Structure 1
């Protein structure tokens, strides 16, 4: 039955029968037969479909909730049995918001030193995508804002506080200042993240409260793209201080504190609130707790 519940999770992720079958490593007829077998076993229709996937029935949505818990527990059990015999091993899948990507190494590097047989997959995603991926068991953990949007059924470990800086060349407007206000930042051309990113929504709100609005000359969902433009000395952006420090400033590039208000937001590790946790997630939470006690 577990394999059929895995099919259901894959269908929830892909919203397409052929793609879900490919994700599960089976043919589409085998996949469709597995879903039909699960429906026959439970005596209800789970999926609305004609020649293609339309959605889940109300019963399908409830079974999907149960499937997430059952599959998560089964994976955790298998992982724990293997770890008892071989030590901690396997792959940790972590999704992080773009502004936190440069901080991931502060978590994964000491983790790997303690557990050298563990491998990692790191993905860049929006905060909303991270929550959806955690719910559907597509990733094991996320690095995201933990004080700006509801986290649902997740456990959070605060890691550091995000503070904002204006990155600009020393010869540009405001480039010679020791600090600037959000109202002043709103009056210069900026390159910013795209509106689907929570960092952009935070900046938009801060600029709005200061009496302005963001009208970026360049948008991207990549902080590397933004930073590469700022490094030319001909662009300006708003970035978290830790990210700017990690990426590195050039001789003529300045990182200027933005005040009035001196806004901050908390970034943390989030994992599903399940007991017992899988050995890999439990070890990651322990590493995050150690990191939080010695800030990045």
Structure 2
């Protein structure tokens, strides 16, 4: 039944039989037959379908919860048995908010020194996407905000708190300041992350507290793109201090601390809530704790 549950999860994720079959590397008839077989075994209809996917039935919604749990447990069992035989190995699918990518690389480098057989696939995603990916078993862990918006049932390990800097040309009027306030940026031509990013929502609230509506002349989901625009024109952007230092190094740009506003939100490791965790995720949480204790 396990392979049929994997098929069911793929269909519920893709909401399309063709795409689900492609994601699993099987034909659509094989997928349809697998779903039909699962429905026969459970004695219920799981999916509304006519000429196309029509959504999950109420029984399908209940089955989805069990399918995620069963498939997740099966994957954990395989990981634990592999760890007993060969030590920690395999690939960790790691989803990270754009503003935490530099800290994620530090965490992975530390982890790799202890567990060199573990590989990482890193994806830059919004905080909402990260939680959905973990819930759908598409990510094994993530690095995201911990205290600004609801997380749901996950395990967390705080790593650091964000504090924001203004990034501008080194010859800009604000570049020589020891610090600026949000009010100082009232008419600034800004490049900011796109609205679905939690960082953007935090920044919007900081401006709102100062009685300002930010003027976002350019929006992107890439911090590299934001800084590239600042370097090429008269724009400015706002980034957490560590990301700002990394992206401005060696460039004719200034990074100026911003005072006030709603700052200091916690960022940390997010993983599925399990007891016990898989060996790899348990080791990753332990490394994050060590890293947090040293900063």
TM beyond 0.5 = yes
**Aligned match of 1:97:** 97
- Computed over aligned residues only, the root mean square deviation of the Cα atoms, in angstroms, reads 1.3
Q: TM-score with structure 2 length normalisation? A: 0.96
**Aligned match of 1:161:** 161
Deviates more, 1:27-36 or 1:243-252: 243-252
Residue 273 of structure 1: how far off its partner (Å): 0.7
Write the distance in 1 (CA, Å) between the matches of 2:33 and 2:173: 64
**Aligned match of 2:179:** 179
Write the distance in 2 (CA, Å) between the matches of 1:219 and 1:233: 15
Residue 261 of structure 1: how far off its partner (Å): 3.0
Deviates more, 1:81-90 or 1:172-181: 172-181
CA contact 1:233–1:253 (8 Å) conserved in 2: no
Alignment of 1:93-242 (within 5 A): 93-232=93-232, 234-242=234-242
Write the distance in 2 (CA, Å) between the matches of 1:128 and 1:235: 28
Does the C-alpha gap of structure 1 residues 251 and 33 become closer, same or farther in structure 2, counting only changes over 3 Å?
closer
Residue 262 of structure 1: how far off its partner (Å): 6.4
Residue 94 of structure 1: how far off its partner (Å): 0.3
Secondary structure of the 2:163 match is strand
**Aligned match of 1:24:** 24
Structure 2 alignment gaps of length 5 or more: none
> Cα deviation per residue 1:202-249 (whole Å; 9 max; x = unaligned)?
111111121111221111110010112223463211110010112233
> Cα deviation per residue 1:86-119 (whole Å; 9 max; x = unaligned)?
1111100000011011211111111111111111
Structure 1 alignment gaps of length 5 or more: none
**Aligned match of 2:34:** 34
Write the distance in 1 (CA, Å) between the matches of 2:266 and 2:284: 19
Q: TM-score with structure 1 length normalisation? A: 0.96
Q: How many residues align?
A: 295
Residue 66 of structure 1: how far off its partner (Å): 0.7
**Aligned match of 2:263:** 263
CA contact 1:233–1:252 (8 Å) conserved in 2: no
